[in-house]
Amino acid sequence: MDLNIALLKGDGIGPEIVDSTVAVLEKIGKKFGHRFTFTPYLAGGCAIDATGEPLPQETVDGCKASDSVLLGAVGGPKWDTLPGHLRPERALLGMRSALGLYTNIRPAKLYSALKAECLLREDIVAKGVDLVMIRELTGGIYFGERGRRQGAMGEEAYDTECYSEKEVERIARVAFETAKKRSKKVTSIDKANVLESSRLWREVMHRVAAEYPEIECTDMLVDNAAMQLIKNPSQFDVVVTSNMFGDILSDESSQITGSIGLLPSASLGDSKCGMYEPIHGSAPDIAGQNKSNPIATVLSGAMMLRYSFDLEEEARAIEAAVDNVLNAGWRTADILGTSTAAPLSCTEMTEKILEQI
């Protein structure tokens, strides 16, 4: 296959982890006979520096015209004081919205080689963790009306959580379809005891659940879910939730698996063109030092092969290479745990993965 991939390297560790993933995809291309063409575009802080805006139109157009998008990370202290609409994070939200990427798939799995890195008690770890968080990505409070105004107590600020039936229904279907291929269990997370938007969320979930009698669907309140993820994470398989709850709970689930440096994500809409990125951010504290863990981005590349290009065997080849590297004991600094061995750099870890392909 001939495929065009847009690269949004972004800021901080973004460029080094995207470069690792490009190397891995090129090796896969060579092995399986595909030609990947990579075209970089500016997004985030680097785009602000070069053009004055976080998401130039050229980037949106370039990504829309490509077969898929690989993103590193955006943001950093340099741009933290800019007004909201000019912050690097706008690039991410803008891309999700421009490409209609309403589904965010975030698998969190505890590798057996990394059990020692898990912060939970041994008997909980022994039961394993292998869940997929499905986060609604283009609705809710991250996209609702916001602003400042004068209230009874002076200046106030507001953000609005709003969900339409249609938005909930389409993400529900993604969750149930995903569950069909896994252990046929969906946990829908909301705050229906307080929020009207969550009550609608729950109603629609139940309506869609009725179309999938083979799938067991459970509601869980978000505060309880935050607790259950620590107390008994093996109870979860497919988790579906709103934009903000998914943002928070996916970071929490990453800590159960050892490191946020391991977790990939896929953002999808109705077309095959998706955006793939690690769930972690730009890690400004280690930017430019070749210390980052490329695995989350490399695994995002595998998700791209699977979801955008239907290249299942190729995706598995990447996942198996990562498995082998971890099983062989190779570690970057974030997954070193209590070991005193010298950690691999980002480029050394990439080399180890390439050797396994």
Q: Which residues are catalytic?
A: 142, 191, 223, 247, 251
Contact status: 247 vs ligand IPM (CB under 6 A) = yes
Q: Which two tokens stand for residue 279?
A: 């769930």
Residue number, 93 or 162, with CB nearest to ligand IPM? 93
The total number of residues shown for the chain amounts to 357
CB of 216 to ligand IPM, least distance (A): 28
Q: Which residue is nearest to ligand IPM (CB)?
A: 89
Q: Which residue in this structure is represented by tokens 């988790």?
A: 239
Quick one: three-class SS letters along 184-208?
CEEEEEECCCCCHHHHHHHHHHHHH
For residues 254 to 293, the per-residue mask of contacts with ligand IPM, x marking binding by CB under 6 A and - elsewhere, is -------------------------x-x------------
The C-alpha atoms of residue 47 and residue 317 are separated, in whole angstroms, by 34
What is the per-residue DSSP string for 277-298? Answer: EESS---GGGTTTT----HHHH
Comparing CB distances to ligand IPM, the nearer of 22 and 95 is: 95
Quick one: what does residue 76 bind among ligand IPM, Mg ion, none, with the CB cut-off 5 to 8 Å set by partner type? none
Strand partners, 62: none
Q: Could you give the 3-state DSSP secondary structure of residue 355?
A: helix
Residue 14 or 62: which CB sits closer to Mg ion?
Answer: 14
**Considering the rule CB under 5 A, would residue 247 count as an interface residue with Mg ion?**
yes
DSSP H/E element including 148:
strand 146-151
> Segment near Mg ion (CB under 5 A), from 49-57, 128-136, 245-253, 324-332?
245-253
Give the tokens for residue 243: 């934009």
* Span 41-100, contacts to ligand IPM by CB under 6 A: 89, 92-93
- 259 vs 344 by CB, closer to ligand IPM: 259
Least CB distance from residue 122 to ligand IPM, whole Å? 29
Task: Give the shortest CB-92-to-Mg ion separation in angstroms.
Answer: 9
The residue (of 6 and 43) whose beta carbon lies closer to ligand IPM is 43
- Whose tokens are 């909301």? That residue is 190
Query: Which does residue 89 touch among Mg ion, ligand IPM, none (CB within 5 to 8 A, set by kind)?
Result: ligand IPM
CA 54 to chain centre: 20
Interior CA angle at 111 toward 108 and 117, to 5°? 95
The footprint of ligand IPM (CB under 6 A) covers 89, 92-93, 247, 279, 281
